[in-house]
Structure 1
Amino acid sequence: MNLREHLFWSTLLAVSLYPRRPFAAASLIAGGVLIDLDHLVLYISRTGDWSMSGALHYNRYRNLFPDRHDNRPRYGSLRSWLHQPLLVLPPLWMLAYRRAWLQPLVIGITLHLVLDHLPLPFIWAAYWRSGGRCARCGTANHVEVYRRPCPSFRKMRWIVLCRRCADKRLWYTENSAHV
Protein backbone atom coordinates (compact mmCIF):
# COMPACT_ATOMS: atom_id res chain seq x y z
CA MET A 1 0.00 0.00 0.00
CA ASN A 2 1.10 3.53 -0.55
CA LEU A 3 1.13 6.51 1.77
CA ARG A 4 -2.21 7.88 0.61
CA GLU A 5 -3.99 4.59 1.20
CA HIS A 6 -2.50 4.21 4.68
CA LEU A 7 -3.43 7.80 5.49
CA PHE A 8 -7.00 7.30 4.23
CA TRP A 9 -7.67 4.08 6.17
CA SER A 10 -5.97 5.35 9.31
CA THR A 11 -7.99 8.55 9.22
CA LEU A 12 -11.22 6.65 8.61
CA LEU A 13 -10.56 4.35 11.56
CA ALA A 14 -9.43 7.23 13.78
CA VAL A 15 -12.55 9.26 13.09
CA SER A 16 -14.80 6.27 13.70
CA LEU A 17 -13.08 5.11 16.92
CA TYR A 18 -12.19 8.48 18.45
CA PRO A 19 -14.63 11.14 17.19
CA ARG A 20 -14.24 13.33 20.30
CA ARG A 21 -10.64 12.57 21.23
CA PRO A 22 -8.37 14.43 18.79
CA PHE A 23 -5.11 13.37 20.49
CA ALA A 24 -6.08 9.70 20.31
CA ALA A 25 -7.18 10.09 16.69
CA ALA A 26 -3.90 11.82 15.79
CA SER A 27 -1.96 9.05 17.54
CA LEU A 28 -3.79 6.39 15.55
CA ILE A 29 -3.11 8.21 12.28
CA ALA A 30 0.56 8.66 13.23
CA GLY A 31 0.89 4.97 14.04
CA GLY A 32 -0.77 4.05 10.76
CA VAL A 33 1.53 6.20 8.64
CA LEU A 34 4.83 6.94 10.38
CA ILE A 35 5.91 3.30 10.63
CA ASP A 36 6.83 3.70 6.96
CA LEU A 37 9.78 5.91 7.90
CA ASP A 38 11.82 2.71 7.81
CA HIS A 39 11.40 2.77 4.01
CA LEU A 40 13.12 6.15 3.95
CA VAL A 41 15.99 4.89 6.10
CA LEU A 42 16.47 1.85 3.84
CA TYR A 43 16.30 4.05 0.73
CA ILE A 44 19.04 6.28 2.14
CA SER A 45 21.20 3.31 3.08
CA ARG A 46 20.89 1.70 -0.37
CA THR A 47 21.27 4.82 -2.50
CA GLY A 48 23.21 7.29 -0.39
CA ASP A 49 20.64 9.92 -1.39
CA TRP A 50 19.52 11.92 1.65
CA SER A 51 16.95 14.05 -0.16
CA MET A 52 13.29 13.56 0.62
CA SER A 53 12.41 14.53 -2.96
CA GLY A 54 14.64 11.71 -4.29
CA ALA A 55 12.88 9.19 -2.05
CA LEU A 56 9.44 10.43 -3.10
CA HIS A 57 10.47 10.39 -6.76
CA TYR A 58 11.70 6.79 -6.39
CA ASN A 59 8.47 5.81 -4.65
CA ARG A 60 6.46 7.20 -7.58
CA TYR A 61 8.32 5.35 -10.31
CA ARG A 62 9.24 2.06 -8.64
CA ASN A 63 5.90 0.37 -9.35
CA LEU A 64 5.12 2.05 -12.66
CA PHE A 65 5.24 0.14 -15.90
CA PRO A 66 8.71 0.83 -17.27
CA ASP A 67 9.13 1.33 -20.98
CA ARG A 68 11.87 -0.15 -23.13
CA HIS A 69 14.42 2.57 -22.36
CA ASP A 70 13.80 2.77 -18.63
CA ASN A 71 17.05 1.92 -16.85
CA ARG A 72 16.38 3.55 -13.50
CA PRO A 73 17.43 1.38 -10.56
CA ARG A 74 14.89 -0.54 -8.54
CA TYR A 75 16.10 -1.48 -5.07
CA GLY A 76 13.71 -4.30 -4.24
CA SER A 77 11.78 -4.42 -1.02
CA LEU A 78 12.35 -1.48 1.29
CA ARG A 79 10.85 -3.23 4.31
CA SER A 80 12.71 -3.61 7.56
CA TRP A 81 11.98 -5.81 10.56
CA LEU A 82 9.41 -3.19 11.64
CA HIS A 83 7.07 -4.68 9.05
CA GLN A 84 7.18 -8.16 10.61
CA PRO A 85 3.92 -8.39 12.59
CA LEU A 86 4.97 -11.36 14.72
CA LEU A 87 8.03 -9.46 15.92
CA VAL A 88 6.46 -6.05 16.40
CA LEU A 89 2.85 -6.49 17.52
CA PRO A 90 3.11 -8.74 20.63
CA PRO A 91 5.51 -6.44 22.53
CA LEU A 92 3.58 -3.36 21.43
CA TRP A 93 0.25 -4.78 22.58
CA MET A 94 1.76 -5.82 25.93
CA LEU A 95 3.05 -2.28 26.36
CA ALA A 96 -0.30 -0.79 25.32
CA TYR A 97 -2.08 -3.03 27.83
CA ARG A 98 -0.06 -1.38 30.60
CA ARG A 99 -0.14 2.13 29.16
CA ALA A 100 -3.63 2.98 27.93
CA TRP A 101 -2.50 6.18 26.21
CA LEU A 102 -0.45 4.07 23.75
CA GLN A 103 -3.44 2.04 22.55
CA PRO A 104 -4.42 4.36 19.65
CA LEU A 105 -0.82 4.37 18.40
CA VAL A 106 -0.67 0.56 18.54
CA ILE A 107 -4.04 0.29 16.80
CA GLY A 108 -2.66 2.44 13.98
CA ILE A 109 0.48 0.30 13.66
CA THR A 110 -1.66 -2.85 13.67
CA LEU A 111 -3.89 -1.42 10.95
CA HIS A 112 -0.84 -0.54 8.88
CA LEU A 113 0.60 -4.04 9.14
CA VAL A 114 -2.75 -5.66 8.34
CA LEU A 115 -3.09 -3.52 5.22
CA ASP A 116 0.48 -4.32 4.18
CA HIS A 117 -0.09 -8.06 4.57
CA LEU A 118 -3.46 -8.31 2.80
CA PRO A 119 -1.86 -9.65 -0.41
CA LEU A 120 -0.24 -12.62 1.38
CA PRO A 121 -2.78 -15.16 0.05
CA PHE A 122 -1.99 -14.04 -3.51
CA ILE A 123 1.74 -14.25 -2.82
CA TRP A 124 1.46 -17.79 -1.44
CA ALA A 125 -0.83 -18.83 -4.32
CA ALA A 126 1.75 -17.64 -6.85
CA TYR A 127 4.49 -19.49 -4.99
CA TRP A 128 2.58 -22.78 -4.84
CA ARG A 129 1.43 -22.44 -8.45
CA SER A 130 5.03 -22.17 -9.57
CA GLY A 131 6.15 -25.13 -7.47
CA GLY A 132 8.68 -22.93 -5.70
CA ARG A 133 10.67 -22.43 -8.91
CA CYS A 134 11.62 -19.34 -10.88
CA ALA A 135 9.10 -18.70 -13.64
CA ARG A 136 11.84 -17.54 -15.98
CA CYS A 137 14.78 -19.94 -15.57
CA GLY A 138 13.28 -22.76 -13.47
CA THR A 139 15.77 -22.71 -10.60
CA ALA A 140 14.62 -23.30 -7.04
CA ASN A 141 17.51 -21.35 -5.47
CA HIS A 142 16.76 -18.08 -3.66
CA VAL A 143 13.33 -17.49 -5.18
CA GLU A 144 10.99 -14.73 -4.07
CA VAL A 145 7.55 -13.58 -5.15
CA TYR A 146 7.55 -10.22 -6.94
CA ARG A 147 4.96 -7.89 -8.39
CA ARG A 148 5.80 -7.39 -12.03
CA PRO A 149 4.00 -5.64 -14.86
CA CYS A 150 2.18 -7.71 -17.41
CA PRO A 151 2.28 -5.60 -20.59
CA SER A 152 -0.54 -7.37 -22.38
CA PHE A 153 -3.03 -6.46 -19.63
CA ARG A 154 -1.18 -3.39 -18.25
CA LYS A 155 -1.64 -4.86 -14.77
CA MET A 156 0.65 -6.04 -12.04
CA ARG A 157 0.98 -9.79 -11.50
CA TRP A 158 2.52 -11.85 -8.73
CA ILE A 159 5.36 -13.95 -10.10
CA VAL A 160 8.08 -16.15 -8.60
CA LEU A 161 11.60 -15.21 -9.70
CA CYS A 162 15.12 -15.92 -8.57
CA ARG A 163 17.20 -12.89 -7.70
CA ARG A 164 19.21 -13.10 -10.93
CA CYS A 165 16.11 -13.04 -13.14
CA ALA A 166 14.44 -10.36 -11.02
CA ASP A 167 17.42 -8.05 -11.48
CA LYS A 168 17.59 -8.35 -15.26
CA ARG A 169 16.47 -5.24 -17.08
CA LEU A 170 15.00 -7.36 -19.90
CA TRP A 171 12.27 -8.47 -17.54
CA TYR A 172 10.95 -4.91 -17.40
CA THR A 173 10.73 -4.32 -21.12
CA GLU A 174 7.63 -4.47 -23.24
CA ASN A 175 8.76 -7.39 -25.37
CA SER A 176 9.71 -9.75 -22.54
CA ALA A 177 7.66 -12.86 -21.94
CA HIS A 178 5.54 -12.72 -18.80
CA VAL A 179 3.84 -15.58 -17.09
Structure 2
Amino acid sequence: VITVKAAAPRDVERVEASIRRAAPGVAVARVQLVPGSVRRVVLPIHDASNVSENAPEEYETGWLAGRRLLLTSAIADADAFERQVVAQGVQLVRHVRFSDHHDFGEGDVATLVSESRHTEGVLCTLKDAVKLAARWPRAAVPLWYVSQTLVVDRGAEVLEQECHRVLAARATTIPTTG
Protein backbone atom coordinates (compact mmCIF):
# COMPACT_ATOMS: atom_id res chain seq x y z
CA VAL A 1 0.00 0.00 0.00
CA ILE A 2 1.47 3.30 -1.08
CA THR A 3 0.27 6.05 1.24
CA VAL A 4 0.38 9.57 -0.20
CA LYS A 5 0.19 12.58 2.09
CA ALA A 6 1.65 15.48 0.15
CA ALA A 7 3.99 14.02 -2.49
CA ALA A 8 3.97 15.22 -6.08
CA PRO A 9 2.14 12.87 -8.50
CA ARG A 10 5.30 12.11 -10.47
CA ASP A 11 7.10 11.06 -7.27
CA VAL A 12 4.24 8.70 -6.43
CA GLU A 13 4.33 7.23 -9.94
CA ARG A 14 8.08 6.72 -9.60
CA VAL A 15 7.64 4.84 -6.31
CA GLU A 16 4.88 2.68 -7.78
CA ALA A 17 7.01 1.86 -10.85
CA SER A 18 9.93 0.88 -8.58
CA ILE A 19 7.70 -1.47 -6.62
CA ARG A 20 6.35 -3.09 -9.77
CA ARG A 21 9.92 -3.64 -11.08
CA ALA A 22 11.16 -5.05 -7.76
CA ALA A 23 8.10 -7.23 -7.11
CA PRO A 24 6.12 -7.68 -10.34
CA GLY A 25 3.68 -10.21 -8.87
CA VAL A 26 2.74 -8.16 -5.81
CA ALA A 27 -0.59 -6.34 -5.89
CA VAL A 28 -0.32 -2.60 -5.25
CA ALA A 29 -2.87 -0.22 -3.81
CA ARG A 30 -2.54 3.53 -3.52
CA VAL A 31 -4.28 5.67 -0.91
CA GLN A 32 -4.15 9.32 0.03
CA LEU A 33 -4.41 10.98 3.40
CA VAL A 34 -6.23 14.24 2.79
CA PRO A 35 -7.49 16.88 5.20
CA GLY A 36 -11.03 15.94 6.17
CA SER A 37 -12.39 18.70 8.38
CA VAL A 38 -11.26 21.23 10.96
CA ARG A 39 -12.52 20.78 14.49
CA ARG A 40 -12.24 22.93 17.58
CA VAL A 41 -10.92 21.00 20.55
CA VAL A 42 -13.50 20.80 23.32
CA LEU A 43 -11.66 21.62 26.52
CA PRO A 44 -12.36 19.50 29.60
CA ILE A 45 -13.99 21.13 32.61
CA HIS A 46 -11.61 21.11 35.58
CA ASP A 47 -13.81 22.98 38.05
CA ALA A 48 -17.20 21.52 38.97
CA SER A 49 -18.59 25.03 39.61
CA ASN A 50 -17.75 26.03 36.02
CA VAL A 51 -20.36 24.40 33.86
CA SER A 52 -19.58 26.37 30.72
CA GLU A 53 -17.74 24.55 27.98
CA ASN A 54 -16.66 25.70 24.57
CA ALA A 55 -19.10 24.42 21.99
CA PRO A 56 -17.90 21.82 19.53
CA GLU A 57 -17.32 23.36 16.13
CA GLU A 58 -16.52 21.65 12.85
CA TYR A 59 -15.85 23.14 9.43
CA GLU A 60 -14.86 21.97 5.98
CA THR A 61 -11.20 22.62 5.18
CA GLY A 62 -12.16 25.65 3.07
CA TRP A 63 -12.75 27.43 6.38
CA LEU A 64 -8.97 27.55 6.81
CA ALA A 65 -8.42 29.83 3.79
CA GLY A 66 -7.05 33.20 4.85
CA ARG A 67 -6.93 32.42 8.58
CA ARG A 68 -3.82 33.49 10.53
CA LEU A 69 -2.90 30.38 12.50
CA LEU A 70 0.03 29.02 14.44
CA LEU A 71 0.72 25.44 13.41
CA THR A 72 2.18 22.92 15.81
CA SER A 73 2.97 19.25 15.42
CA ALA A 74 4.74 16.36 17.08
CA ILE A 75 4.59 13.92 14.19
CA ALA A 76 7.09 12.11 12.00
CA ASP A 77 6.34 13.97 8.77
CA ALA A 78 5.74 17.55 9.87
CA ASP A 79 6.64 18.87 6.40
CA ALA A 80 3.78 16.94 4.78
CA PHE A 81 1.33 18.24 7.38
CA GLU A 82 2.50 21.81 6.77
CA ARG A 83 2.14 21.41 3.00
CA GLN A 84 -1.41 20.10 3.44
CA VAL A 85 -2.36 23.07 5.62
CA VAL A 86 -0.72 25.68 3.39
CA ALA A 87 -2.49 24.13 0.38
CA GLN A 88 -5.78 24.93 2.16
CA GLY A 89 -4.88 28.64 2.19
CA VAL A 90 -3.82 29.10 5.81
CA GLN A 91 -1.80 32.23 6.54
CA LEU A 92 0.83 30.34 8.48
CA VAL A 93 2.32 32.50 11.24
CA ARG A 94 4.83 29.84 12.25
CA HIS A 95 5.14 26.07 12.57
CA VAL A 96 6.33 25.04 16.03
CA ARG A 97 7.68 21.52 15.62
CA PHE A 98 8.33 18.92 18.27
CA SER A 99 9.79 15.44 17.88
CA ASP A 100 7.42 12.59 17.01
CA HIS A 101 5.38 11.39 20.03
CA HIS A 102 6.47 14.43 22.08
CA ASP A 103 4.89 14.62 25.53
CA PHE A 104 3.73 18.23 25.74
CA GLY A 105 4.59 19.88 29.04
CA GLU A 106 3.38 23.09 30.65
CA GLY A 107 6.36 24.99 29.16
CA ASP A 108 5.46 23.82 25.66
CA VAL A 109 1.86 24.95 26.11
CA ALA A 110 3.01 28.31 27.51
CA THR A 111 5.20 28.81 24.42
CA LEU A 112 2.35 27.95 22.05
CA VAL A 113 -0.07 30.24 23.88
CA SER A 114 2.44 33.10 23.89
CA GLU A 115 3.31 32.74 20.20
CA SER A 116 -0.36 32.50 19.18
CA ARG A 117 -1.58 35.67 20.92
CA HIS A 118 -2.10 37.59 17.68
CA THR A 119 -3.55 34.72 15.66
CA GLU A 120 -6.97 33.17 15.20
CA GLY A 121 -5.85 29.97 16.88
CA VAL A 122 -3.45 27.07 17.02
CA LEU A 123 -3.84 24.25 14.51
CA CYS A 124 -2.49 20.74 15.04
CA THR A 125 -3.20 17.10 14.24
CA LEU A 126 -5.74 14.97 16.13
CA LYS A 127 -2.81 13.02 17.60
CA ASP A 128 -1.45 16.24 19.12
CA ALA A 129 -4.86 17.66 20.08
CA VAL A 130 -5.48 14.63 22.29
CA LYS A 131 -2.32 15.43 24.25
CA LEU A 132 -2.77 19.21 24.33
CA ALA A 133 -6.47 19.41 25.26
CA ALA A 134 -6.07 18.70 28.98
CA ARG A 135 -3.41 21.43 29.29
CA TRP A 136 -4.90 24.07 27.00
CA PRO A 137 -5.95 27.22 28.91
CA ARG A 138 -9.51 28.43 28.38
CA ALA A 139 -8.31 32.04 28.07
CA ALA A 140 -6.02 31.16 25.14
CA VAL A 141 -6.88 31.32 21.46
CA PRO A 142 -8.86 28.29 20.24
CA LEU A 143 -7.06 25.00 19.67
CA TRP A 144 -8.06 23.35 16.37
CA TYR A 145 -7.14 20.08 14.71
CA VAL A 146 -7.33 18.80 11.17
CA SER A 147 -8.84 15.36 10.77
CA GLN A 148 -7.45 13.10 8.05
CA THR A 149 -9.55 11.16 5.56
CA LEU A 150 -8.33 8.07 3.73
CA VAL A 151 -9.12 8.10 0.01
CA VAL A 152 -8.43 4.98 -2.05
CA ASP A 153 -7.02 6.04 -5.44
CA ARG A 154 -6.24 2.63 -6.82
CA GLY A 155 -6.47 -0.97 -5.67
CA ALA A 156 -9.62 -1.01 -3.53
CA GLU A 157 -10.06 -4.69 -4.45
CA VAL A 158 -6.51 -5.39 -3.21
CA LEU A 159 -7.28 -3.79 0.14
CA GLU A 160 -10.56 -5.67 0.42
CA GLN A 161 -8.89 -9.04 -0.34
CA GLU A 162 -6.14 -8.40 2.20
CA CYS A 163 -8.64 -7.41 4.89
CA HIS A 164 -10.59 -10.62 4.30
CA ARG A 165 -7.36 -12.65 4.39
CA VAL A 166 -6.23 -11.10 7.67
CA LEU A 167 -9.65 -11.47 9.29
CA ALA A 168 -9.90 -15.10 8.17
CA ALA A 169 -6.46 -15.84 9.61
CA ARG A 170 -7.41 -14.10 12.83
CA ALA A 171 -10.58 -16.19 13.13
CA THR A 172 -8.53 -19.40 13.05
CA THR A 173 -6.07 -18.21 15.70
CA ILE A 174 -6.50 -19.76 19.13
CA PRO A 175 -6.65 -17.04 21.78
CA THR A 176 -4.21 -17.29 24.66
CA THR A 177 -4.24 -15.78 28.11
CA GLY A 178 -1.50 -14.01 29.99
Identify the TM-score tier after normalising by the shorter chain.
under 0.3
> Rg larger in 1 or in 2?
2
| Structure with the larger helix share | 1
* TM-score relative to the length of structure 1: 0.27
* TM-score relative to the length of structure 2: 0.27
| Structure with the larger strand share | 2
